[in-house]
Amino acid sequence: MITDVHTHFWIPDHQRSPWTDGLGRVSTRLAADSIDRVTVESYWRQVAPAERTIVFGLQAQASGIMVPNDAVAAFVREVGGQTVGFMSVDPTRHDAVDEIERCHADLGLCGIKLGPIYQGTSPLNPLTMRVFSAAERLGLPVMIHQGAIFANAGRLVDANPLLLDDVAIAFPELRMVIAHMGHPWVHETAIVMRRNPNVYADTSAIATRPTVLATALSAAKEYGVLKKVLFGSDSPMVSAESAAAALTRIVARMQHIAHTPITEEELHAIMHRPSFELLGIPKPAEPELVPSVRRGTQP
């Protein structure tokens, strides 16, 4: 079973400048549909062939994007199947912890999406650390964008994955996923994963940067943490089908030229990682009928 741990939901009403300015610079060559609007139908197309998915919005006032968590929860109900939702909170808001507790108790959202650099802050800011504390207390995994971004918000020095070592030490039971392998700091991501048992990383987005992805996979293997690399697409910017195909091409090329290549067995393990179980996410109930369009067939 393929699990895509990194997919987005938003519509134009959730976005303004500077987010909208930066989004126009994002490559769409691996996308399946428009990248500024996600509908239920487009989502099914974007995530195939993944059977399990995690979807979230983003709340980052500094970057001009605020996706309501209620809208994410409603979207998850519409999508159905084996899709679960993560909430997002902006740590700079005074009500961030209250929002986490509300979304967990009332909306059934089972994880948290953070992007400190998008949010104009640092993972080590006390405002962000209180979010990590709440996540650990409630048993919620955190998907964190800790790496370069397309928007002009935050400071790159605050986006280095090495900072998450301090977070993992402070909250050892907290499960974290470093999005996009923490690019361009993929070696830093690998050593943070090696040192901290509950820190993972995903392959999302960097299918568009084959050299970075190949380097990230080799680094993860050399540091003994390839088993903690999860498959993610970054839909709608990169569809799951495009991400899987690019990953397959890059691994095939690595087998010819890389000092530390990835085997077919290791590729299969990345694609079929039991990510929900690793992150402590309860399995969603199977619906009585899965829409045929999601299965890639005609209705």
- Residues 212-238 have pLDDT tens digits of 999 999 999 999 999 999 999 999 999
Phi first, then psi: give them for residue 175, nearest 5 degrees.
-90, 125
Res 295: pLDDT: 42
Residues facing residue 54 across a β-bridge: 84
132-146 residue pLDDT tens: 999 999 999 999 999
pLDDT over 60 at 37, yes or no: yes
Is residue 90 a contact partner of residue 114, using CB atoms and an 8 Å limit? no
pLDDT over 60 at 50, yes or no: yes
64-115 residue pLDDT tens: 999 999 999 999 999 999 999 999 999 999 999 999 999 999 999 999 999 9
Q: How far is CA 100 from CA 90, 145, 246, in A?
A: 10, 18, 35
Taking each helix axis from N to C end, the angle separating 163-170 and 126-138, rounded to the nearest 10 degrees, works out to 50
Q: How far is CA 207 from CA 193, 198, 289, in A?
A: 20, 24, 32
Could you write out the DSSP letters of every residue in 69-83? HHHHHHHHHHH-TEE
When pLDDT is averaged across residues 172-179 and rounded to a whole number, the result is 98
Give the residue extent of every domain in the chain.
Answer: 3-285
User: What is the spatial distance between Cα 213 and Cα 238, in angstroms, rounded to a whole number?
Assistant: 14
Q: How far is CA 131 from CA 44, 90, 270, in A?
A: 31, 9, 29
Q: How far is CA 167 from CA 11, 123, 268, 279, in A?
A: 32, 8, 31, 17
Taking each helix axis from N to C end, the angle separating 69-79 and 40-47, rounded to the nearest 10 degrees, works out to 70
User: What is the spatial distance between Cα 30 and Cα 138, in angstroms, rounded to a whole number?
Assistant: 36
pLDDT, mean over the chain: 93
User: What is the spatial distance between Cα 115 and Cα 12, in angstroms, rounded to a whole number?
Assistant: 19
299 band by pLDDT with thresholds 50, 70 and 90: very low
Res 23: pLDDT: 78
pLDDT over 50 at 296, yes or no: no
pLDDT over 60 at 264, yes or no: yes
pTM for the predicted model, two decimal places = 0.93
CATH of 3-285, one of 3.40.50.620, 3.20.20.140, 3.30.565.10, 1.20.1270.360: 3.20.20.140
Is residue 183 a contact partner of residue 204, using CB atoms and an 8 Å limit? no
Q: Which two tokens stand for residue 9?
A: 């939901």
pLDDT over 50 at 122, yes or no: yes
Taking each helix axis from N to C end, the angle separating 186-195 and 163-170, rounded to the nearest 10 degrees, works out to 20
Res 33: pLDDT: 87
User: What is the spatial distance between Cα 130 and Cα 91, in angstroms, rounded to a whole number?
Assistant: 8
